[in-house]
Structure formats: C-alpha cells, structure tokens
C-alpha cells in the first residue's frame, strides 16, 4: 500500500509551513481596485494574468501548498467574490502539471452539492496526476443560492456531507464501489489515488459535531482569529485527534516594504513589516498552527515581490519554532 501522504508536505515536526491561497493577485488593494475599474473587470473577478507564473515561482521557492476555493456560481450581488474563477478540479489538474513539490489543496469543496461518485473520481484524478499531492478540503457551504440552483435542499446539507464522506472513503479503496449498501467488485473508480487515502480537511464545522469531525477528518482549516482563540482551537483539535490532526489557518497579508513597520489589523489578517510578521507567525506556531495559507488580495505590493520576500526572509526564520501540538 502507498505510503505517500500529502499531509507530510504541510505538517513538519519543527516548522510551521506556509502556503498560498488563490486567486493570486492583489485586486482588493486600492491599486488593484483601480486597475479593475480601468479595464472594466467586474468587482470580485480576479486578475489571473500572472497567476500561473507566480504559482510556478512559489513552488520553486519552497511554499508548501497552494489552495483553491470552490465557488461554482459568481453571486455578484450577495457575495461579490468569484473565488478562484475556474472549476476547482480543472484548476488543480492544470496545477498538477505546472508544479512539482507543493501540495494541491481545496479550500474548500462544497461537498453536498456534488455527486459523491463524481467527487471521488475528480479527486482521485488530481491525486494521481500530481503524484499524491492532493489535500481535499471539504465544507457544507455557506452560499444558499447554490442549493436551489441545483434543486437541492439547503437544510439537509449536513446529512449529505456525512454520506459523501463515507462514499468517497469506500470508492478510493479496492473492493468495488458501494451499491445499495454493499461493495460491487465489478465497479471501480479509475484512476486509483496515488495516496492510500486522500486526506480530508474540514473547513468550518460542516454541520457536524466535533467528535464526528475528529473521527473522520485528517485536518481542520479555520478562518483567522486572535491568538487566544486559535490556541483554544488548536488544543481542542489536537486533543480530539490524539495529536494526529493537522491544523491550518488562513491569513490575509499586506507585507509592507519597511521591515520594522508595526502591525495594523485588516480583515482576516494584518498590514505589517517583516519583523512583526515573523514574530506573529512564531506565536501562531507555538500555539499549535501547522500551516498558514497566505492570501495576498489586500497586498499593497505586487504579489511577486511579497512571495520572494516571504521565501528569503520569513520562511527561514520559521524553521526553529516548534509547533507544540504537532505530531
């Protein structure tokens, strides 16, 4: 059986790893908003013109993962955010071919709106194409417009989430697909995943209790929060999973040119210089955070500059900070 695990790409015993959350632009900065207006691009639709080159560069520089969101419908009025724009599995299949090292994560697939057989097929395909680098982030969804468009019941999404998890787990294993409560040995999902079991990372609560999540998920992905809140969350997750569960948080970053600039809060993150960022990330590592997915949409500087500085001056300084809850 394969011993490959994409979890090992983001969880290290002596370092908190960094990843990039897509789309990889800075369209939520004042400069980015001005560019969008000048080109007539709708607010909330990302500028993807440099994204592929930036992802290649991040992969070469040692970023541990790239994360793509699942936004099937651009709800321009109520949400105003088109997410990663492309279908998430089409995008990750493409990225499997243009990256070599980083994990490919979904943050997160809205599991109840997709048929679990087709979900299992799509995930297995990305995992096989990438050589076992898929981290399947899953959620129950917080955009009610998607459910009626697909003729699905929004209130029943918690039960559908649990059923889909159980189905995919079986579909990825030898022995045949589940049919009417039994395995049919003549029906199979191809390709087989490169990993023995594709890791599932829950985003949010997914309408489940903590005990079920701890028993059925390999990782947890949370919104940014203050240090006290994150410490409580990491400890609860670590205890519930016997120190085996991976803990991930996002962070919206505006990295200023002045390395000595103090931190100022922005939505879901901070505007600060390099020294304050290293100090903050060190505190997160000591609190038990294994991996940070950095979002640059509010960056006042070009993403290419920030990626280079993070790789040269931030990531090397995270290598000696143990995450106290890491396995």
Task: Say whether 185 sits in a helix, a strand or coil.
Answer: coil
Q: What angle do CA 221, 201, 283 make, to 5 degrees?
A: 35
Least Cα distance to 309 among 298, 299, 322 occurs for 299
Q: What is the pLDDT of residues 238-252, one digit of tens each?
A: 999 999 999 999 999
Read off the DSSP letter of residue 102.
S
Bridge partner list, 266:
269
Q: What is the pLDDT of residues 163-195, one digit of tens each?
A: 999 999 999 999 999 998 899 999 999 999 999
Q: What is the pLDDT of residues 308-327, one digit of tens each?
A: 999 999 999 986 454 444 43
- Inter-residue contact 164 to 119 (CB < 8 Å): yes
Mean pLDDT throughout 85-108?
97
Q: For position 1, what pLDDT does the model report?
A: 47
Mean pLDDT throughout 215-225?
94
- Inter-residue contact 287 to 230 (CB < 8 Å): yes
Instruction: Tokens for 106, please give them.
Output: 């979904």
- Inter-residue contact 184 to 177 (CB < 8 Å): yes
Distance CA 164, CA 136 (A): 13
- Inter-residue contact 245 to 230 (CB < 8 Å): no
Q: For position 3, what pLDDT does the model report?
A: 74
Mean pLDDT throughout 77-105?
92
Q: Calculate what percentage of the chain has a pLDDT beyond 90.
A: 78
Q: Where are the domains of the chain?
A: 7-318
Q: For position 136, what pLDDT does the model report?
A: 98
Q: For position 327, what pLDDT does the model report?
A: 39
Q: For position 319, what pLDDT does the model report?
A: 66
Q: pTM of the full predicted structure?
A: 0.94
Give me the architecture of the 7-318 domain, per CATH.
Alpha-Beta Barrel (3.20)
Q: What is the pLDDT of residues 275-316, one digit of tens each?
A: 999 999 999 999 999 999 999 999 999 999 999 999 999 999
- Which run of H or of E encompasses 31? helix 30-39
Supply the mean pLDDT for the chain: 92
Instruction: Tokens for 246, please give them.
Output: 């991976």
Q: What is the pLDDT of residues 114-147, one digit of tens each?
A: 999 999 999 999 999 999 999 999 999 877 788 8
């Amino acid at each position: 059986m394969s011993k490959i695990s994409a979890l090992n790409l983001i969880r290290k015993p002596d370092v908190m790893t960094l990843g990039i959350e897509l789309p990889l632009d800075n369209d939520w900065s004042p400069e980015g908003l001005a560019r969008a207006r000048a080109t007539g691009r709708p607010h909330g639709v990302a500028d993807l013109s440099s994204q592929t080159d930036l992802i290649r560069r991040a992969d070469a520089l040692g970023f541990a993962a790239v994360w793509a969101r699942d936004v099937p419908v651009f709800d321009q009025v109520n949400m105003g955010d088109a997410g990663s724009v492309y279908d998430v599995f089409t995008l990750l299949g493409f990225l499997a071919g243009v990256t070599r090292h980083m994990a490919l994560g979904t943050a997160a697939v809205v599991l109840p709106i997709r048929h679990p057989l087709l979900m299992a097929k799509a995930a297995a395909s990305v995992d096989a194409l990438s050589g076992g680098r898929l981290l399947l982030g899953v959620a129950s969804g917080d955009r009610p417009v998607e459910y009626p468009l697909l003729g699905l019941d929004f209130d029943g999404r918690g039960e559908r989430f649990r059923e889909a998890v159980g189905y995919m787990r079986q579909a990825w294993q030898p022995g045949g697909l589940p049919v009417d409560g039994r395995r049919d040995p003549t029906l199979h999902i191809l390709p087989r995943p490169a990993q023995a079991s594709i890791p599932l990372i829950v985003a949010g609560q997914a309408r489940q209790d903590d005990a079920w999540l701890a028993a059925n998920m390999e990782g947890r992905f949370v919104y940014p929060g203050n240090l006290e809140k994150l410490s409580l969350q990491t400890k609860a997750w670590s205890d519930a999973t016997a120190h085996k569960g991976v803990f991930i948080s996002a962070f919206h970053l505006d990295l200023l040119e002045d390395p000595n600039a103090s931190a100022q809060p922005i939505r879901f993150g901070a505007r600060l210089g390099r020294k304050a960022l290293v100090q903050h990330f060190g505190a997160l590592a000591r609190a038990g955070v294994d991996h940070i997915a950095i979002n640059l949409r509010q960056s006042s500087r070009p993403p290419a500059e920030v990626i280079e500085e993070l790789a040269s001056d931030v990531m090397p300084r995270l290598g000696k900070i143990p995450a106290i809850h890491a396995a």
